Amino acid sequence: EFEDIPFNGSFNSMLNYSRSPENFKVYRFPDLVPYKVTVNGSPAKSYGNWDRYFNGKYQRLTVYNHYNGFYGGDRSELILKTDRPEKKTLLMFSNSYSDAIKLLLLQHYDAIYAIDPRFYELEMGKKFNAKKYIQKHEIDDVLILGDVSFFERTFGLSGY
């Protein structure tokens, strides 16, 4: 628990509201398997800014989205890969709701391919083709995780 950080998610930040009664809390996973990160097709040093936060080096603004800051923000394609080819691969369609569990899930997979369809075409310069992506990356499992508005916008579902 970061006692000096109020939990201000994206909606609080958009409204410029900074009086959250809750502190920002995360779970620090012990003994994670080593992994490599690719963001939108380019290698990255890490997934999020965990080390900075745990070392006390984070934004001190009253209104700041620390969830986004800690986990590194929304990306159209995030690939987390271990070197355990005997394990399965996971394709995850999600918004930021999945940020807190990606590394936990990675402990059970060789690779996680996390796609946020809200940004894919804009950031990757092409429409997402699930069939081709699944074939190209030899995906074993698929997980779809989000809130109602995510499903409505992403998959055109309405009439709830």
Give pLDDT tens digits for 24-56.
888 888 889 999 999 999 999 988 888 899 999
Alpha-carbon gap, residue 26 to 18, rounded angstroms = 19
pLDDT class for 160, splitting at 50, 70, 90? very low
**From start to end of the chain, where are the E strands?**
2-6, 23-24, 36-39, 42-44, 77-81, 89-94, 111-115, 141-145
